[in-house]
Amino acid sequence: MPTEQLRADDSVLVRWAKEGRPEAFEHLVRRHQLLVYRTALRLTGDSHTADDVAQEAFVAAWKSLRLFREDSSFATWLYRIVVNQASNTGRGRRDVPVEEVPLDTHHPGADTEAMQREGEQRIVTAIVALPFEQRAVLVLRLFEELTYEEIAQILSISPDAVRGRLHRARNQLTKRLGGER
């Protein structure tokens, strides 16, 4: 497909999209869909909710594209939008106290794969139970591997605040996961 050969820089596509060309925006969506969906998935812990959040994030990006001043990369701007969208969903808002998260402590035998899946599900549950401000920092740092400075820019906080939230998130998770073992 000729369109798959497109190697235009994000900034060029953004310029075309700002001029009202949805086809250019389509290329941006294709290029960044995994970033947006993956972030939504880790923030909400649920694939259906993440699908909705990702779609809403792109539509919100299209609507507000003219407000994008391009003082950050398009990817950074998208991260900001998807974090905001996730925080507005029911799953995103849900800050469940750690003590209230239901646990399945039953280990079904020696099936390694099943145990790994169970372990991952416990992690997902524990992450979603974090306060959203801690969860956002944790997801952007550990799953998206952004730097403290990049996260600070996305969340409009200082790098020190990023460090503090990450520290609290890690302690909450340690308490939670360590308490199960």
Partner 1 sequence: MTRSDGSVSLPCGADVNELSDQVVGRLPARDAEHQAACPYCRATIAELRTLWSPLHALADEDVAAPKELVARVLEQILELDIDGGRAVIAADRGDTSIGVQVIATIARKAADSVSGTLLAFSRARADVQVGAAGRSVVVQVEIVAALGMSLPMLSAQIQRTVRDHVAALTGLSVVAVDVSMVEVAGGRPAINSSVKRRANPREQ
From the centroid of its chain, how far is CA 122?
18
Told to check if 168 binds partner 1 by CB under 8 A, we report no
Site for partner 1 contains 161 (CB under 8 A): no
Task: Based on the shown chain and the rule CB under 8 A, indicate whether residue 1 belongs to the binding site for partner 1.
Answer: yes
- The nearest distance, CB 100 to partner 1, in angstroms, is 20
Nearer to partner 1, 33 or 84 (CB): 33
H and E: helices and strands count for the chain: 9, 0
Q: What are the angstrom distances between the C-alpha of 39 and each of 43, 49, 52, 87, 123?
A: 6, 12, 12, 12, 15
Site membership for partner 1, residue 108 (CB under 8 A): no
Q: Angle at CA 27, nearest 5°, toward 24 and 28?
A: 90
| Reduced 3-state DSSP string for 110-153 | CCHHHHHHHHHHHHHHHHHCCCHHHHHHHHHHHHCCCCHHHHHH
* Among the residue ranges 17-25, 85-93, 95-103, 152-160, the one whose residues contact partner 1 (CB under 8 A): 17-25
Show the site string, 64-103: x = touches partner 1 by CB under 8 A, - = not: ---------xxx----------------------------
Q: Which of 14, 24, 130, 151 binds partner 1 (CB under 8 A)?
A: 24
The window from 32-40, 91-99, 129-137, 151-159 that contacts partner 1 (CB under 8 A) reads 32-40
Distance between CA atoms of 45 and 39, rounded to whole angstroms? Answer: 10
Positions in 110-129 near partner 1 (CB under 8 A): 116, 119-120, 122-124
> Which residues form the interface with partner 1 (CB under 8 A)?
1-3, 5-12, 16, 20-27, 29-38, 41, 47, 51, 54-55, 58-59, 62-63, 73-75, 116, 119-120, 122-124, 141-145, 167, 170, 173-174, 177-178, 181
